[in-house]
Amino acid sequence: MRRLLALSCAALCPLAFAACGTASTTAGFKGTEHDVAQTVANLQSDITSGEQKKICENDLAAAAVKRLGGQAGCESTIKEQLAEIDNTELEVKSVKLEGSKATASVQNVQNGKKRLTNVVLVEEGGKWKISSIQ
C-alpha cells in the first residue's frame, strides 16, 4: 500500500490496514482480549464505510485525535487517507494486555505481501481506543 499512508508522519496510521478487504476476526479471543480485537474490527468497519467522523470519535484515542489536529483535523486527515487505501486483508493474530494498555499484532496484506503490525490501544472511559501503530 502507499507506504503506510501519510498518518504515519503523525505517529498514527490506523488506515494502513484495510478498506475493502476481509473483515477483521475476533474469533478465538475472550474477555478483554476480545474487546481489544473488536476495536480493531470496528476500525476496519468504519474505514470500509468511509466514516471518518466515527473513526475519530469512536476508534481513536483522544491523544491520537489531538495529534491529528483535534476533531476537525482528524476528520480531514482521515477523509484524505480513505481516498488512498488499497484493498487489503486484516487479521488480529494476538493481543497482549498490560493494564490499561494493549498491543494487538495485526496481519495485513500490502502489495501481495503479508505483514505484521503492532497496534497499540489504551483504555479510555471503559472502552479500548487505538493510540498508535508501530
pLDDT tens digits for 45-93? 888 888 999 999 999 999 999 999 999 999 999 999 887 766 546 789 9
Would you say 98 and 88 are in contact if contact means Cβ atoms under 8 Å apart?
Answer: no
Structural element, H or E, at residue 48: helix 31-48
Sheet holding 101-110, edge to edge: 90-98, 101-110, 113-124, 127-133
CATH of 6-133, one of 3.40.50.720, 3.40.640.10, 3.10.450.50, 3.40.47.10: 3.10.450.50
Would you say 90 and 18 are in contact if contact means Cβ atoms under 8 Å apart?
Answer: yes
Using 50, 70 and 90 to split pLDDT, how confident is the model at 20? very low
What phi and psi values does residue 130 have, to the nearest 5 degrees?
-80, 125
